[in-house]
């Protein structure tokens, strides 16, 4: 049936947007973190990047890339697991409260429905009906009282893997010129341009995932990355003397 096809397409799009979120934020941190290493070395060797050498840039850049990538992936995994545990604990507590004092919980639901725009008569009728279905009532209370949505459709391990993969993939972009070129100012320029293009690509992905204004999505993503790069360069320049 057409409605079933539409539902499957909508569900698939929702999952794609969810993974795009992991890609965008993991990739943004990867680019910014790794280019900060490149910019920091360039600032410390302001008289010539070759004084420090491309090998040092690669060693520190790759070590930082994979260490931070693993940290971000595991952080995403633990964060999602914690969110799942918190949701289940609060929902179980809500079900106990409904069983212990159903009238009080019905009144709370009535107030929530009324505050969200239902007329008092309809809010009371709706609350009466829902009070006969504790599981459904608990789900509504979780959403409207605690502002928590059911995380069961999310897979913490998959989210963590997408975050790690995106961090490493996009974070490697600033280092690629140092694999194929001599560690000169030209390599730094190519790395900078490549990083900027990667940030633009992430901004476009963010625009596609969120539907926000194109200029805002791309502009904010590039601005954040550029700010971090400038800070890293200045710190490296000051420390390098």
Q: What is the pLDDT of residues 53-92, one digit of tens each?
A: 667 778 888 888 898 889 889 988 898 888 888 888 888 9
Mean pLDDT to the nearest integer, 117-139: 86
Q: Which residue matches tokens 């990739």?
A: 27
- The answer to whether residue 10 scores a pLDDT higher than 50 is no
CA distance 203 to 214: 8
pLDDT at position 1: 44
Q: Please indicate, yes or no, whether the overall pTM of this predicted structure exceeds 0.75.
A: no
DSSP 181: S
When pLDDT is cut at 50, 70 and 90, the band that residue 164 belongs to is very high
44/27: higher pLDDT: 27
- Asked if 38 and 62 touch (Cβ cutoff 8 Å), the reply is no
């Amino acid at each position: 049936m057409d409605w079933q096809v539409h539902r499957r397409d909508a569900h698939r799009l929702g999952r794609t947007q969810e993974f795009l979120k992991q890609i965008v934020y993991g990739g943004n941190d990867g680019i910014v973190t790794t280019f900060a290493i490149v910019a920091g070395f360039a600032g410390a060797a302001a008289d010539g990047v070759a004084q420090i050498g491309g090998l040092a840039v690669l060693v520190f850049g790759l070590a930082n890339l994979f260490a931070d990538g693993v940290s971000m992936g595991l952080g995403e995994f633990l964060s999602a697991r914690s969110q799942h545990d918190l949701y289940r604990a609060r929902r179980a507590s809500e079900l106990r409260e409904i069983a212990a004092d159903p009238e009080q919980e019905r009144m709370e639901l009535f107030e929530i429905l009324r505050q969200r725009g239902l007329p008092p008569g309809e809010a009371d009728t709706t609350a009466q009906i829902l009070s006969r279905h504790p599981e459904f009532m608990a789900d509504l209370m979780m959403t409207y009282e605690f502002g928590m949505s059911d995380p069961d459709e999310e897979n913490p391990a998959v989210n963590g893997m997408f975050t790690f993969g995106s961090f490493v993939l996009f974070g490697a972009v600033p280092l690629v010129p140092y694999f194929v070129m001599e560690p000169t100012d030209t390599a730094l320029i190519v790395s900078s341009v490549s990083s900027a293009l990667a940030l633009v690509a992430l901004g476009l992905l963010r625009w596609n995932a969120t539907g926000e204004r194109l200029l805002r999505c791309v502009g904010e993503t590039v601005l954040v990355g550029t700010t971090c790069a400038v800070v890293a360069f200045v710190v490296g320049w000051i420390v390098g003397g």
